[in-house]
Amino acid sequence: MGLTIALNRGRILDECLPLLAEAGIVPVEDMSASRKLVFNTAIGGHKLVVMRGSDVPTYVEYGAADVGITGKDTILEYGGGTHFYERLDLRVGRCRLMTAVPASTADGLQMREGHLRVATKFVNVARQYFEERNRQVTIIPLSGAVEIAPLMSLADCIVDIVDTGNTLQANGLVALETIAEISSRVIVNRASMKTKFDEVQLLIEALRAAVD
């Protein structure tokens, strides 16, 4: 029958394609040289669908895709694993979801007390994080260039993905607290886990072997 696999375009796609190849899932054409978004595979009758990372959980939850590969940050922002099964950590695309503040704020060691304005792309994650710490915050949603929000006096701190930390440093910020360790994860539609159990399990085990 084959599986429909939703893939996060960009860096995650580049890092996951070799793992999929090791698992025997290879597109019939060069994905990097095509403007197509849906690709057949050489064997197995699978389909690979390339999309924005934030859309992967939606496609998997509603069954348009049986399996998805996306970052843990996207899964957390979507609402965790309540809408699908999170089955495997692929250990690629590693980074951290962190709070960060201007280096000049409390010597860059901690955020000031009182109400905070928090700029982030991860609205749900940030809100939950600060609520659990009983901090009063105003969440300011941004779709990009989050690092400049404190510089422009839009926010007191940010919640964002941190890889090397170079971007933070270049904009006068320092990372503080780690909210979550991030890497690429395999998620599975709940119905597909039952109706296509053998195919899903075969894929998971093949990817696990490729990772190990």
Do 20 and 69 reside in the same domain of the chain? yes
pLDDT per position as a tens digit, 123-170: 999 999 999 999 999 999 999 899 999 999 999 999 999 999 899 999
Distances (CA, A) of 109 to 115, 174, 176: 17, 8, 7
Residues 73 and 123 placed together within one structural domain of the fold? no
| Distances 193 to 9, 75, 86, 203, 204 between C-alpha atoms, Å | 24, 18, 11, 12, 11
- What pLDDT score does 175 carry? 93
- Calpha distance 127→118 (Å, rounded): 9
> Do both 39 and 58 map to the same domain?
yes
Residue-level pLDDT at 108:
47
Same structural domain for residues 55 and 76?
yes
Predicted pLDDT of residue 200: 97
Asked if 26 and 77 sit in the same domain, the reply is yes
Q: Which pLDDT value is given to residue 178?
A: 96
Q: Is the pLDDT of residue 113 over 80?
A: no
> Do 87 and 109 share a domain, yes or no?
no
Of residues 140 and 212, more confidently modeled: 140
| Same domain assignment for residues 38 and 119 | no
Beta-carbon neighbour count of residue 125 at 10 Å? 21
Tens of pLDDT, residue by residue over 25-76, are 999 998 888 889 999 999 889 999 999 999 999 999 999 999 999 999 999 9
Q: Do residues 44 and 82 share a domain?
A: yes
pLDDT at 107: 58
Q: What is the pLDDT of residues 78-106, one digit of tens each?
A: 987 678 999 999 999 999 999 999 988 75
Same domain, 118 and 47: no
Lookup: tokens for 209? 């072997």
Nearest CA among 178, 127, 118, 120 for reference residue 145 = 120
pLDDT of residue 39: 96
The mean predicted confidence, pLDDT, of the chain is: 93
**Tokens of residue 97, six digits:** 């979801």
Is there a single domain that holds both residue 119 and residue 147?
yes
Task: Give the pLDDT band of residue 110 (cuts 50, 70, 90).
Answer: low
The CATH code of the domain that includes 15 is 3.40.190.10
Residues 113 and 132 in one domain: yes
Query: What total of structural domains would you count in the chain?
Result: 2
- Model pTM? 0.91
Return d(Cα 9, Cα 39) in angstroms, integer: 13
Confidence of residue 112 (pLDDT cuts 50, 70, 90): low
Residues 190 and 171 reside in one and the same domain: no
Its domain, for residue 119, covers: 96-180
Average pLDDT over residues 94-122: 83
